[in-house]
Structure 1
């Protein structure tokens, strides 16, 4: 008589596989907690890629040259592709729960599924478009490379492709910023003003630090299951180390007079952003939250006929 494993034994074996460096695949047994944290993380990442294309899409018709127009169009296409890839990964996770991609989109529209705080913000100038590519995508690369060895195989493999393309996006944004920083006084002011607008959202990008994590936080769970290795604050410090010297080197000013590197503590000291404001933004109360959600919903509804056509059996087409 074959004895079936108990859930406790399955969980022990599962954790042993993770800590041995094995990858978990979509069809493998996994604890509910692991599945749920992956669904939340990857669906938010996927939707954020799609919503993140919207601020830059606004600049496609307004880009200053044909070369810049082609560059930002290609970037928008890439971001939409990243979103579709990640939502496909999410679909495999939610399928055993009887859910579909339509449920993911409904969760976005009814506020259950959040998208990244930075994509609720305004991008009023070409300097903002460049800064999104340079610093926002730069922050994304730091976050995503931290999960390249994630224990969930499909996500880790998707991230390898996404991170490779994000490097080009960051270079594209940096090229725009450098051109403006070396331009006229008006162009330099445009970049400085963009930095001032985006500095607080950039600090919020990585989420609240360890001191804000009370009880069992998502940070704890993702570390426990070897989905990521660094905390929010460690990632933010990595961002400072890489980008603060670069920002200063092109003559821009960090809008935080208190910011400096403490040699004894071996970390950057900075003014904390308003985390209550952060909570409001991710509840879809940011400057552009509702406008971008309306645009996404309109696009989803207008293209319903395409989804229906693709879902028909081959003999019905």
Structure 2
């Protein structure tokens, strides 16, 4: 299987069945020793069934997030202010779809087909990032997405690019290069609004107020209640805890917002100089789980768009997979 410049081997089906039945203690010890030494695990290597399951879940959800995440920004391509920003947004949306393809390729090396992943997304079985279930009401929303949500994603992806599974790490390295350009684009748009007219700054402040809680949700629940973090960190799938990544994000980006005269809708937000950690109002985690499980303001709308795209593109996929139909396609 070929994807984005990397050649991935199909997992051995017999090996998959063996892993699903039980984990050989001797193989498990060798596996964990390799991870402790910082070695990369590759598709043909033995791995515990739980490692494969957790990794598949993580990469698949990341891939879905890249695809769904292009939708709120894509709706603003024709309305972006000025030709330069339209071109930049087109390029960014194209990049995000490409990131999704890279990640689906990486997830497929673990034994789950892309068709199964897409079906699980469209049925609501598979999850994706909470932040992509909110509306982009104004250009300022796109700006906040482009700067702060991309910044949060970079914090997560730079850390995980040093993880234990080779195909995922290589995909993340390439994705992070492109995300750094997205961050610059978002920062440029943010500066333009923050230093523009009073109306532009007010529009930006309003968007920031609405997006702040979803952004705080982005890194996931606190470490004390997170279901997956401990095991993922033990196997170096996840290289930093949810709270650590959230603190790193706040440490880097809150001062940048304050320097521009922007405020954040949390009166308790401050950095504890003794601990070096940020303190803040705990966001509504019930709302987070509601959104993740399909109850957000745009969940159904976003999935309906993907269902429409899947149905409308079916004939193209069918033709590409069938040589006889491909020869019958009209030539432009």
Q: Same fold (TM over 0.5)?
A: yes
Q: State the Cα distance separating 1:314 from its structure 2 match.
A: 8.1
TM-score by length of 1: 0.94
* CA–CA distance in structure 2, aligned partners of residues 314 and 89 of structure 1: 30
Q: Which residue of 1 aligns with 2:246?
A: 236
SS in 2 for 1:237: helix
Q: Which digits, 9 at most, give the CA deviation of each residue in 1:81-140, with x for residues without a partner?
A: 00011001111112xxxx421111111111110010000011100001011010000000
What are the within-5 Å matches in structure 2 for residues 110-189 of structure 1?
110-189=123-202
Match for residue 38 of structure 2 among 16, 21, 46: 21
Q: Verify the 8 A CA contact 2:133 2:297 in the aligned structure 1.
A: yes
Q: CA–CA distance in 1 between the matches of 2:248 and 2:324? A: 51
Partner of 1:70: 87
Instruction: Give 3-state SS (helix, strand or coil) of 2:245's partner.
Output: helix
How many correspondences in the alignment? 305
Task: Point out where structure 2 has 5 or more consecutive residues left out of the alignment.
Answer: 1-22, 328-332
Structure 1: 4+ residue segments shifted above 4 A = 313-317
Give 1:264's aligned residue. 274
SS of 1:170 mapped into structure 2: helix
Residues in 2 aligned to 1:314 and 1:138: alpha-carbon distance in whole angstroms: 46
Offset of 1:229 from its aligned partner?
Answer: 2.1
Distance apart, 1:228 and its partner CA: 2.1
Q: Which residue of 1 aligns with 2:102?
A: 85
Number of the residue aligned with 2:11: none
Q: Residues 314, 12 of structure 1: CA spacing in aligned structure 2 closer, same or farther, 3 A cutoff?
A: farther
1:237-283 Cα offsets, whole Å, 9 max, x none, are 00010001000001100111111111122211100110000000011
Which residue in the other structure is 1:296 paired with?
A: 306
- 2:160–2:239 contact (8 Å) kept in structure 1: yes
3-state SS of 1:261 partner: strand
Q: Counterpart of 1:212 in 2: which secondary structure?
A: coil
- Secondary structure of 2:106's counterpart equals helix
- Per-residue CA distance 1:40-83 (angstroms, 9 max, x = gap): 00000001000000000010011110111000010000000000
Flag structure 1 segments of 5+ consecutive residues without an equivalent: 1-5
Q: Is the 8 A contact 2:319 2:326 kept in 1?
A: no
Aligned to 1:35: 52
7-16 vs 169-178, which moves further: 7-16
Normalising by structure 2, we get a TM-score of: 0.89
Which residue of the partner structure matches residue 231 of structure 2? 221
Is it true that 1:10 corresponds to 2:23 in the alignment? Answer: no
SS of corresponding position for 2:46: coil
> 3-state DSSP class of the match of 1:93?
coil
Q: Quick check: 282-291 or 77-86, which moved more?
A: 282-291
Q: For residue 72 of structure 2, what is the aligned residue in structure 1?
A: 55
Question: What do residues 194-219 of structure 1 show as CA deviations (whole Å, max 9, x unaligned)?
Answer: 11010000100000112223xxx310
- CA RMSD across the alignment: 1.4
**Aligned-residue offset at 1:313:** 5.1
